[in-house]
Structure formats: C-alpha cells, structure tokens
Amino acid sequence: MPDHPPHPLSADQAEVLLHLLRHDEPGMDALRRQVPGAMVTRYWGEHSVSFDMEVRGGPRAALADGPHADRDWGWTPDGEPEGTFLVWVADGRLSALEYGWVTEDMPTRLPEVSRIRPPRPGE
C-alpha cells in the first residue's frame, strides 16, 4: 500500500467519530475535543476504512489504553448489520478508528451516521 502523508480527518470521518463518541461516559468529552486536531496517519490496508490517527491538541482522556466507544454498529440501507466500531485510545489520545465488517465484502466507505446505532435487543 502506498504511503500517504498524515492528513486531517475527512468531514465524513470526523462526523462518524463524533457520533461514536456521543455517549455520556467518562473520557468521551475529552476524546470529542481531540477530533478537530486528529490526523489520519495510516490506513489498515488497501481500500480499508479503518485507520490510525495522531492527535495534535485537546485534553488527554483519563482512559486506559485500548478500545472504547464500542457499542455502535453500522447497518446497510436494508437494515442488515454491516460492521462494528472500535475507537482505540493510547496515552489518553485517539489512536485509531476500526470498522470490522461482518459481511462477505469489505466496506469501501464508512456508513452514514444515520446508519450507525447500537443493535436493538434480539438483533
């Protein structure tokens, strides 16, 4: 995969990330405040929508290293589950957005925010 220089989050990436961090849980406010300074540093593979990031500015979140904001799923326009989200944190900073797909084909873009929600009971 070709190397790309670090670049700011796209509007879609920032919108999805802020949506995933919307829950009123410890550390989420600090992570939301980091989003404007987040830079994509590496995609996880060719055509992958998962990426590593580096944050420039914003307060550090008092959270353990590892995955957070893991309750939401992406859904297809037909209402079928497409994938799960993990927001990774390292040293109190956003470090990655992972979208793990559960479909046959890897998604080539993040779902629209209107299609991101927790599963309903029984789903």
* pLDDT on residue 119: 87
Q: Are 27 and 61 in contact (CB under 8 A)?
A: yes
Q: Is the pLDDT of residue 2 over 60?
A: no
Distance (Å, whole) CA 74 – CA 88: 17
Going from N- to C-terminal start, the domains of the chain cover 7-107
pLDDT of residue 56: 83
Q: Which pLDDT belongs to residue 3?
A: 61
Structure tokens at 88: 């990774």
Q: Could you read off the pLDDT of 28-50 as tens digits, one per residue?
A: 999 999 999 999 999 999 889 99
Which pLDDT score, from 0 to 100, does residue 8 have? Answer: 96
Q: What string of H, E and C letters represents the secondary structure of the chain?
A: CCCCCCEECCHHHHHHHHHHCCCCCCCHHHHHHHHHHEEEEEECCCCCCCEEEEECCCCCCCCCCEEECCCCEEECCCCCEEEEEEEEEECCEEEEEEEEECCCCCCCCCCCHHHEECCCCCC
Given the structure tokens 């479909």, which residue do they identify? Answer: 103
pLDDT at 1 over 60: no
pLDDT of residue 69: 87
Q: State the pLDDT confidence band at 14, using cuts at 50, 70 and 90.
A: very high
> Which helix or strand (DSSP H or E) is residue 4 part of?
none
Model pLDDT for residues 57-113, shown as the tens digit of each residue: 889 999 999 999 888 999 999 999 999 999 999 999 999 999 999 999 999 999 999
Residue 120 binned pLDDT confidence (cut-offs 50, 70, 90): confident
